[in-house]
Amino acid sequence: AGVPAGCPYDVGLLDSHADRLPLVIRARGDRDVSRLCAWLVDNRDFVRSALRRWGALLVRGFDVREAAD
């Protein structure tokens, strides 16, 4: 499945020349972790498909201050 329409984040590969590296989800403007988590839950089919294809998701640029976040 492709990136969901209206995705508020930048989504792409870590290395544009690789096929088996993690998919990266980068904060565009909204860096709130709670909204990211809600988006991941709302788009679980995309997340599962991405995990099957790339083996991992890497999130970058979000406001994570401590492990509980």
Residue 14 pLDDT > 90 = no
Residue 18 pLDDT > 80 = no
Q: How confident is the model at residue 22, as a pLDDT?
A: 85
Q: What is the full DSSP assignment across the chain?
A: --PPTT-SSEEEESSTT-SSSPEEEE-SS---HHHHHHHHHHTHHHHHHHHHHHS-EEEES----STT-
Q: What percent of the chain has pLDDT over 90?
A: 58
pLDDT tens digits, 31-46: 999 999 999 999 999 9
